[in-house]
């Protein structure tokens, strides 16, 4: 999931440099959402791993 976040971030940067504001805005929004989902899943897996390991 972090891979797709980086892909959308690169798309947003390239679109922003080329002047496509709408595409850049959409891609950065998707990148933000994917990054937040990644963080939530990462924290949940850390907590679940810690509770089952002990």
The domain limits of the chain are 2-48
Q: Residue 12 in contact with residue 31, Cβ under 8 Å?
A: yes
Rounded distance, CA 12 to CA 34, Å? 14
Task: Give pLDDT, residue 34.
Answer: 92
Q: What backbone torsions phi and psi does residue 19 show, to the nearest 5 degrees?
A: 95, 15
pLDDT at 54: 56
What is the pLDDT, as a whole number, of residue 51?
A: 74
pLDDT score for 31: 92
| CA gap 2, 29 in Å, rounded | 14
Q: Divide the 54 residues of the chain into consecutive groups of 10 and give the mean pLDDT of each group.
A: 87 92 92 93 89 65
DSSP 19: T
């Amino acid at each position: 999931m972090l891979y797709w976040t980086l892909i959308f971030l690169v798309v947003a940067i390239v679109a922003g440099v080329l002047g496509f504001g709408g595409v850049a805005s959409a891609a950065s929004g998707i990148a933000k959402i994917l990054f937040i989902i990644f963080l939530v899943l990462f924290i949940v897996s850390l907590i679940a791993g810690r509770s089952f390991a002990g």
